[in-house]
């Protein structure tokens, strides 16, 4: 039986950006993950690909991968919360179900089939002061993988095509972008149109963190083809500076190279097979904590997707 820690005090949420020193986080769980889904039950094209190929990840392998991350977090004295176990239910990707900006926790309006995932972190939600618990209107579709606080900015991945409702891969709409701007009027909310594809995972940026992520103080990982509008991609390159950008290939995006996770401005958890990226990170002075996460990546999510930060210094 999974134990989940209940903190005896209210959590003082504090998330200003993606890389300040992490103090508390929700890490998803692969325990009681349920049977291999049918193609109709899958939420993304990469999962479908592995279901068809007979290579969908096994629960025991994913549990080992997530516990490796838990060990790294423990090494850096990060307080780790876990979801309450729901039998036979996928609860790996905690980033999707809620996100924190400043001192507010915002419940995501996710795919209806995943509503129970939010119930499983009720013990965390109840430890947030009531005035800082935010639930957006139902018409505001948003998932945490699309939302990135970056100091005075909030970067948001979205899709506003007329065929939005036809894309199960379109997870955040413009109504949510507007709602987030209204919640944080003192910040600049910058939205980015993402490339969506229901059947080809190499042409699909499921979330913003599947094709882009800031690291350190002034650097970023990015994949150009993940962006539908080239000028929006160019805005990011100019914002961070070309010399501070690590461009990933289509295959590297497919393998989720942009979906690493920062413990601090100096320390990053990365997948051990990301040889080119990890070499570059070390050359730039980062400490890279390598973990196995290739099985979880088969569901089109990686380290950022399975962590939901609560407190950073």
CATH architecture of the domain with range 22-312? 5-stranded Propeller (3.75)
Rounded CA-CA distance 6/130 in Å is 17
Beta pairing class for 307-312 and 287-291:
unpaired
- Choice between 10 and 234, residue whose per-residue pLDDT is larger: 234
Q: What percent of the chain has pLDDT over 70?
A: 93
Which residue, among 132, 125, 80, has the nearest Cα to 104 in the 3D structure?
A: 132
State the chain's mean pLDDT as an integer.
Answer: 92
Q: State the pLDDT confidence band at 166, using cuts at 50, 70 and 90.
A: low
Q: Where are the domains of the chain?
A: 22-312
Phi-psi map region of 30: left, alpha, beta (phi>0 left; psi -120 to 50 alpha): alpha
Mean pLDDT of all residues in 114-125:
85
Q: State the pLDDT confidence band at 73, using cuts at 50, 70 and 90.
A: very high
| Residue listed under structure tokens 């970056």 | 150
- pTM of the predicted model as reported, rounded to 2 decimal places: 0.92
| 3 state DSSP class of 70 | helix
Mean pLDDT of all residues in 184-213:
92
Give the pLDDT confidence of 260-281 residue by residue, as tens digits: 999 999 999 999 999 999 999 9
Rg over alpha carbons for the chain, rounded to the nearest Å, is: 18
Longest dimension (CA), the chain: 50
Q: State the pLDDT confidence band at 148, using cuts at 50, 70 and 90.
A: very high
Q: Is the pLDDT of residue 198 over 90?
A: no
Q: Is the pLDDT of residue 14 over 70?
A: yes
Q: Is the pLDDT of residue 30 over 90?
A: yes
- Choice between 166 and 124, residue whose per-residue pLDDT is larger: 124
Residue 253 near residue 211, CB atoms below 8 Å: yes
- Choice between 158 and 41, residue whose per-residue pLDDT is larger: 158
Q: Is the pLDDT of residue 228 over 90?
A: yes
Rounded CA-CA distance 54/52 in Å is 6
Q: Is the pLDDT of residue 57 over 70?
A: yes
Strand segments (E) across 202-286: 212-215, 219-222, 245-247, 261-262, 267-271
Mean pLDDT of all residues in 158-185:
84
Rounded CA-CA distance 32/267 in Å is 31
Residue 285 burial (C-beta neighbours within 10 Å; 0-12, 13-18, 19+): exposed
What pLDDT shows up at residue 3?
A: 47
Neighbours of 135 (CB within 10 A): 14
Q: Is the pLDDT of residue 194 over 70?
A: yes
Structure tokens at 232: 């929006």
Residues near 309 by beta carbon (within 8 Å), at least 6 away in sequence: 15, 22, 24, 25, 100
């Amino acid at each position: 039986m999974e134990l989940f820690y209940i903190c005896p005090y209210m959590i003082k949420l504090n998330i200003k950006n993606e890389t300040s020193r992490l103090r508390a986080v929700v890490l998803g769980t692969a325990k009681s993950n349920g049977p291999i889904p049918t193609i109709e039950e899958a939420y993304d094209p990469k999962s479908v690909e592995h279901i068809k190929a007979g290579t969908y990840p096994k629960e025991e392998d994913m549990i080992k991968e997530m516990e490796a991350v838990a060990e790294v977090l423990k090494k850096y004295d990060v307080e780790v919360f876990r979801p309450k176990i729901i039998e036979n239910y996928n609860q790996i990707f905690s980033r999707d179900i809620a996100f924190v900006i400043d001192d507010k926790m915002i419940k995501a309006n996710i795919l209806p089939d995943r509503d129970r995932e939010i119930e499983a972190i009720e013990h965390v939600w109840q430890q947030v002061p009531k005035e800082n618990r935010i639930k957006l209107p139902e018409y505001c579709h948003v998932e945490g993988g699309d939302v990135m606080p970056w100091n005075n900015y909030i970067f948001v991945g979205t899709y506003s095509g007329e065929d939005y409702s036809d894309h199960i891969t379109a997870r955040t709409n413009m109504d949510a972008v507007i709602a987030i701007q209204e919640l944080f009027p003192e910040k600049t909310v910058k939205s980015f149109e993402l490339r969506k594809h229901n059947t080809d995972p190499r042409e699909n940026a499921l979330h913003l963190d599947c094709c882009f992520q800031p690291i350190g103080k002034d650097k970023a990982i990015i994949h150009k083809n993940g962006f539908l509008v080239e000028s929006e991609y160019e805005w990011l390159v100019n914002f961070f500076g070309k010399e501070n950008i690590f461009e990933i290939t289509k295959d590297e995006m497919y393998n989720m190279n942009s979906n690493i996770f920062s413990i601090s401005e100096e320390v990053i958890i990365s997948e051990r097979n990301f040889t080119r990226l990890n070499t570059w990170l070390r050359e730039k002075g980062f400490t890279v904590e390598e973990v196995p996460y290739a099985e979880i990546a088969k569901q089109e999510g990686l380290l950022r997707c399975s962590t939901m930060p609560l407190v950073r210094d």
